[in-house]
Structures are given as C-alpha cells and as structure tokens.
Structure 1
Amino acid sequence: MQRLKNKIALITGAARGIGRGIALCMAEEGADVVLNDLPPGMPEVVDVRSTAAEIETLGRRALVVYGDVASRDAVERMVATAVEQFGRIDIVVANAAFSIRELVVEAQWEHVLRTIEVTQFGVFHTCQAAARHMVARGGPGKIIIIGSILSQIPLPTSAAYNMAKAAVNQFAPTLAAELAPYRINVNVINPGYIDTPGERKFATEEELQRAAQQIPWGRLGTPRDIGRAAVFLASDDADYMTGSALCVDGGYRVGMRLPS
C-alpha cells in the first residue's frame, strides 16, 4: 500500500527483535529508515547493518547511526545526523530497551540503573530530541513509544523494567498534549509476549511453547505484529489518534482469569 511513501523514519534498537520488525515493515511501506543501535563488538550486540542490508534489498535507503540512547549527547548526534543526511525526520520510534531480571531483594543497583537509563530515560532523550526537530520545522510528525503490557502486569524479577515501562506510558500522553498544537502525534504500543532474541534469553523453547498455548490467540507475537501496528500509527490512518496506548498482545490480558 506504500502508506509511508517518501517518509523518513528513525528507529532505536533496530538491530533485532521488535525494532528490526518495525524497520522492515516501515521500509516495505515506502519509508527510508535511520537505524540506531549499539556499535558492534560489545557482548550480545548484533550489528544493525544487517537490518540496513535487508532494507536496501527492498529498494529503500537505510542510514546506520550507532549510539547508546542512555546518552543525551549520543541521541542528539543521532537526530542531527539523520536530519543532515535526509533533511528531516517524519517518524520516530523510541524502541530501545534493556532488562536484567532479578528479584528486588537481590537486584544489583548498576543493573537497575542501566535498565532505567535505557528503557525510561532513553525514551525521554529520543522523544525530546525528535520533538525539538519536529517543532522547529512547524510539524507535523509521528512519535511512537514501545511500551509493554508489563507496565500493568507485575512480572516478578522485572521490577525496574516494569517501572520504566509504566513511566513511558504516562510520559506519552503528557508529550502528546504538549505537541498537539503542532499536529505531532504521540502514541504508545504495548506489546504482549513477543518471540524475540531478548525473550529467548529468559526462557527455553519448551517454556515459550507452553506460554504460547496459554495466550488466547494461540501463539506468541512476532516482531512483524508490532511492526504492522507501528506502520498504522505512523500513517495518515492514525492522524486523529494521539496520547493513546495500543495493546498488541494476542489477548494475553483478557485471557488472565481470577481464581474461581
């Protein structure tokens, strides 16, 4: 349908998982894409250039900008580089996140701090820098924040991550109210249980399959499920939506039952 034809999209955490799925879906819909992630060479880091190569096979332009979203300077450089190369940014997806699962009583403070710096503050840095650019050119624009159903469901061992996702769910409508006069839409997507490399760090294949059977839709979500939702929010079809939270979870929440 090419709903994003001639649009420039910037996506953080785009090397794998949900970020990669969003990037590919947006490229398929006609967007040129700025891809951000950590530089290669760090432990467990996938080079985002692999996502860029896939986008280029779709006939779209891809620009890689390495940087840690926990750093305000890195985020400002990322946005400045995108604007310098492409002239503007129409769509921003604040997706990058981090989590180490520990019980609260056992949690190491450096792990808690890193989780919040990336998952909460990284969203603030990204959205602020993007909003400044969009406001300076008089709008419009689309800002999409990737939250989580864990902003509402208290998954044990995930306190810092849950807390950060709850925070960005409150941040989004606040930003939406401030940016509405510029016709800059700000919305959240709250994914459910999505089959990503990040989730596979915490669960075996057997555990994932068992979890899938308990979801009303009968399967785990995929990065493309979130990518298609992001395309919708980035398109003209969602122009009258701002300050909203879109839950994409295969019915995970409605499948939860109190003891009978």
Structure 2
Amino acid sequence: MELNGRVVVVTGGTRGVGAGIASSFAAAGAEVVVCARRPPEVPLPKVEFAPLDVRDADAVRQFFVELPRVDVLVNNAGGAPYRMLADMEPERHVRVLELNLLAPLTVSLAAYEHLKRARGSIVMIGSVSGGRPSPGAAAYGAAKAGLENLARSMAVEWAPEVRVNTLVVGMVATERSHLYYGDEEGIAAVSRTVPLGRLAEPSDVGAAAVFLASDAAAYISGASLLVHGGGERPAFLDAVTVNKET
C-alpha cells in the first residue's frame, strides 16, 4: 500500500485522529499537507501545515487553486461538544452541521478538478454516531449520517475518475478522550464495551484510510468501512439469565 509521491490533503490533521491519519500517509511515502485553523502543538514529521478554515468557502477554493496537484483528499475535520439538544441554541447546532457536513462538501468540490486529473480518491471520516441514536451529539450524528450518504452519491457521480469511500469510526483514544469518557478508570470501563477490548488508536484509523486511498482498494468506491473494534456489545447480553453454557 505504498503511496510514494502522491499528494494527500488531510483536513483537521493537526491532532488526534487527523494527526494519526497524516502520519500514516507520510509513513506510506505520500507528500502530506494538513490544513486547520491552528498549527499542530507538536510538529508532525514529514507533514506540511497550511492554515485554513474549512468553513470559509472562498478560502478553501483559493487553497486548492494554489496547490499544483492533489491525489487524495481526507475529509477529517469535524467534531462537536457534548450538549443535549435543548441545552444549546439552534445556531450552535447549525455550526456543527456546517463543520461536519457542509465543509466536507465544500472541500471536495474545491478539490474535484485535481482529483479528476489524478484519478484520485476521497476518504470521508464518518462516525458510528451517524448510524445510531446519539443523545448529546444529535446534530453531529445527523451530519455524519448525511456525510456517508453524500459519499455514496459522489462515488456514483464522479466515477470512474474519482473513488469516494467512508471510514465509519468508533471510539478513539486521543489527547481529548478524557473530555468524553472521563479519567483512566472511565476510559477502561468504556473500552470493555468494545468487543476487541480497547479504543482505537489514531494509527488504526490512519491505516484504514491509507488502504482505501491505495491501489489495493482500486475497485472499492461508495463503500463504508467500519473501524470500530466490533461495534458495541449488545446490552441485552448482560441481562440474559439463562445458562450461557447451554
């Protein structure tokens, strides 16, 4: 799955999952550009940083005009605070939708001509929140559901020149995990709900993104690849009272 010489743009690639994705592409031999509003606190080896707010359509278009080539686009920028629906103003929910759904559309359109010439690939970073109820992150879940559908439509409209796929990502251990899962004990408890017994590492997501962008996935487009450690252990299993050995 070598990507020697290919130019990869990763949005929001300065920390957490995005940094793991950028590092994985760099390790595969790609020339990697990460774009975000702020530079990484810790520079990533063999990765170039460019300042960009992906919600600013004019700035996004200008950013891609100035790039000589793009072979792979990873729409990773996103996220949302944990807030119940009624505890946040509608305008705040709209901003979540803008960042997690409208921005990937804007960026993809801006990169399209580059990707078409290169017969390149787009990898959307989705979430398991897009396929199940997401209390506390309802707008985020709705955006991620829309992102997965958008990717499928793009895969049809832009074929055969551009492949488009989605990574449906579960819980990931990052420097911000404590904001969602609590202290080490809380993270350990959450990890036990995952069949593989741990949260993903950013490098796990990065390896999957490299695969989808590589020639090894040349016939994969419009697909959603689950990167969630087996998903969530069904709650009813803990409530079963029959003899589990029968």
TM over 0.5: yes
In structure 2, C-alpha distance between the alignment counterparts of 1:95 and 1:7, rounded to whole Å? 18
Instruction: Name the structure 2 match of 1:197.
Output: 175
CA shift for structure 1 position 110? 2.9
- Of residues 55, 59, 65, the one that matches 2:45 is 55
Give 1:251's aligned amino acid.
Answer: G
In structure 2, C-alpha distance between the alignment counterparts of 1:96 and 1:142, rounded to whole Å? 17
Residues 91-132 of structure 1 deviation map (CA, whole Å, 9 limit, x = unaligned): 000000030221112222232122111111111111111113
- Of residues 206, 212, 217, the one that matches 2:191 is 212
Consecutive aligned runs of 4 or more in structure 1 exceeding 4 Å deviation = none
In structure 2, C-alpha distance between the alignment counterparts of 1:36 and 1:181, rounded to whole Å? 27
In structure 2, C-alpha distance between the alignment counterparts of 1:63 and 1:237, rounded to whole Å? 26
Instruction: Name the structure 2 match of 1:43.
Output: none
CA 1:15–1:37: 2 relative to 1, 3 Å:
same
CA shift for structure 1 position 76? 1.3
- Of residues 49, 57, 63, the one that matches 1:64 is 49
- Of residues 80, 88, 93, the one that matches 2:65 is 80
Which is worse superposed, 97-106 or 158-167?
97-106
Instruction: Name the structure 2 match of 1:35.
Output: 34
Task: Indicate the RMSD between aligned Cα atoms, in angstroms.
Answer: 1.6
In structure 2, C-alpha distance between the alignment counterparts of 1:194 and 1:155, rounded to whole Å? 16
Give 1:23's aligned amino acid.
Answer: A
Give 2:23's aligned amino acid.
Answer: L
Matches within 5 A, 1:73-152: 73-81=58-66, 83=67, 87-135=68-116, 137=117, 139-152=118-131
Residues 29-61 of structure 1 deviation map (CA, whole Å, 9 limit, x = unaligned): 10011111113xxxxxxx2373xx4323xxxxx
Give 1:250's aligned amino acid.
Answer: G
Give 1:186's aligned amino acid.
Answer: V
8 A contact 1:12–1:93 mirrored in 2: yes
Which is worse superposed, 14-23 or 103-112?
103-112
Secondary structure in 1 matching 2:44: helix
Secondary structure in 1 matching 2:35: strand
Give 2:227's aligned amino acid.
Answer: V
Instruction: Name the structure 2 match of 1:15.
Output: 14
Give 2:45's aligned amino acid.
Answer: I
8 A contact 2:115–2:121 mirrored in 1: no
Gaps of 5+ in 2: 241-246
Which is worse superposed, 231-240 or 149-158?
149-158
Give 1:48's aligned amino acid.
Answer: P
In structure 2, C-alpha distance between the alignment counterparts of 1:134 and 1:116, rounded to whole Å? 25
CA 1:71–1:12: 2 relative to 1, 3 Å:
same
Which is worse superposed, 206-215 or 235-244?
206-215
- Of residues 213, 224, 227, the one that matches 2:206 is 227
In structure 2, C-alpha distance between the alignment counterparts of 1:211 and 1:144, rounded to whole Å? 27
CA 1:208–1:165: 2 relative to 1, 3 Å:
same
In structure 2, C-alpha distance between the alignment counterparts of 1:228 and 1:171, rounded to whole Å? 23
CA shift for structure 1 position 252? 1.8
Give the structure with higher Rg (CA): 2
In structure 2, C-alpha distance between the alignment counterparts of 1:74 and 1:199, rounded to whole Å? 31
Instruction: Name the structure 2 match of 1:4.
Output: 3
Gaps of 5+ in 1: 40-46, 57-61
CA shift for structure 1 position 178? 0.7
8 A contact 1:144–1:230 mirrored in 2: yes
Residues 154-198 of structure 1 deviation map (CA, whole Å, 9 limit, x = unaligned): 12111010010000010001000011132x110000111111234
Instruction: Name the structure 1 match of 2:164.
Output: 186
Secondary structure in 2 matching 1:189: strand
CA shift for structure 1 position 21? 0.2
